[in-house]
C-alpha cells in the first residue's frame, strides 16, 4: 500500500499552470460578458453551495476552484498561481502538480462544506482557487526554503516566513471574524491538506524543510 501511495509519476513538464490560469480567465471573462443572468446560472451550478451539495451536486467540490467573484479576486489568485505554481510544477512534474492541486483544493472544499453546513450557512457560495493556491504556496516554500520573495517589491522575506506568516494571519482572521466574505478556513485547509500531502505522498516533513533542518 505504501508503495502505491508513493509511486512517482513519470516526470513531464507540460506547463499545466498556464492551462489552469487560462480556464479561470475564460470562465471569469464569460461571466462578465454574458450578463447577470448567465453569471448567476454559472455560480449556481459551479460554486460550492452546501444546500446544493446536500442535493447531490458533489462536482462543485472541484468546479468552485474555477470561479471568482470579482477582478481583484481572480487577479490575486492567478498572479499567485503564476508566480509560485510554475516553479512548483517544474519541481514536481505536471502530473504530480495536477494531483496535488486538485486533491488539496477538493479537500479544502469538502472541509469548508462541513464547516458551513454544521454552522447553518447553507447558502454560502464558495468560489475561488485560494485553497489550492495556498497549498501551492506551501509547496513552494518547502521546495525552495531559501528563496527570497519581495513583498510589494520592497520587503524581502524568505519563502517559509511568508507562508508561516500567512498561516498566522489566516488563523487570526478566522478566529476574530474580521474581513467577512473571505473563506479563511478554506485557505487554512489548503495549507493543512498540502502539509498532509507532503507527509503521506512524499514521506517528507514540511516543518523540517521550512525551519532549515533538512
Render pLDDT for 15-64 as a digit per residue (tens, 0 to 9).
999 999 999 999 999 999 998 999 999 999 999 999 999 999 999 999 99
Render pLDDT for 154-182 as a digit per residue (tens, 0 to 9).
778 788 887 777 777 766 665 555 444 44
What percentage of the chain exceeds 90 in pLDDT? 60
Task: Point out which residues pair with 148 in neighbouring strands.
Answer: 158
d(CA 77, CA 21): 9
Averaged pLDDT score across all residues of the chain: 88
d(CA 78, CA 100): 17
Domain 2-210's class? mainly alpha
Q: What is the pLDDT of residue 53?
A: 94
d(CA 108, CA 160): 21
Mean pLDDT of 114-132: 90
Side-chain half-sphere exposure of 196, counting CA atoms within 13 A: 10
Q: Where are the domains of the chain?
A: 2-210
Written as nine digits, the cell of 118 is 454544521
Render pLDDT for 75-100 as a digit per residue (tens, 0 to 9).
989 998 999 999 999 999 999 999 99
d(CA 92, CA 14): 11
Whether the CB-CB separation of 24 and 68 falls below 8 Å is answered with yes
Residue 211: partners with Cβ closer than 8 Å, 6 or more residues away: 160
Amino acid at each position: 500500500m505504501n508503495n502505491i501511495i508513493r509511486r512517482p509519476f513519470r516526470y513531464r513538464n507540460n506547463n499545466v499552470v498556464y492551462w489552469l490560469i487560462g480556464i479561470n480567465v475564460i470562465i471569469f471573462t464569460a461571466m462578465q460578458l454574458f450578463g447577470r443572468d448567465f453569471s448567476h446560472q454559472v455560480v449556481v451550478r459551479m460554486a460550492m453551495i452546501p444546500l446544493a451539495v446536500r442535493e447531490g451536486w458533489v462536482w462543485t467540490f472541484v468546479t468552485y476552484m474555477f470561479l471568482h467573484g470579482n477582478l481583484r479576486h481572480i487577479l490575486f489568485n492567478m498572479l499567485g498561481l503564476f508566480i509560485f505554481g510554475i516553479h512548483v510544477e517544474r519541481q514536481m512534474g505536471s502530473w504530480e502538480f495536477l494531483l496535488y492541486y486538485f486533491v488539496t483544493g477538493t479537500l479544502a472544499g469538502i472541509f469548508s462544506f462541513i464547516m458551513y453546513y454544521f454552522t447553518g450557512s447553507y447558502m454560502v457560495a464558495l468560489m475561488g482557487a485560494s485553497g489550492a493556491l495556498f497549498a501551492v504556496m506551501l509547496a513552494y516554500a518547502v521546495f525552495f526554503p531559501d528563496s527570497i520573495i519581495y513583498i510589494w517589491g520592497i520587503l524581502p522575506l524568505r519563502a517559509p516566513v511568508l507562508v508561516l506568516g500567512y498561516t498566522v494571519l489566516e488563523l487570526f482572521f478566522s478566529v476574530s471574524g474580521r474581513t467577512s466574505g473571505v473563506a479563511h478556513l478554506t485557505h487554512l485547509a489548503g495549507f493543512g491538506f498540502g502539509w498532509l500531502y507532503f507527509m503521506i505522498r512524499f514521506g517528507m516533513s514540511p516543518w523540517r524543510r521550512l525551519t532549515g533542518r533538512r
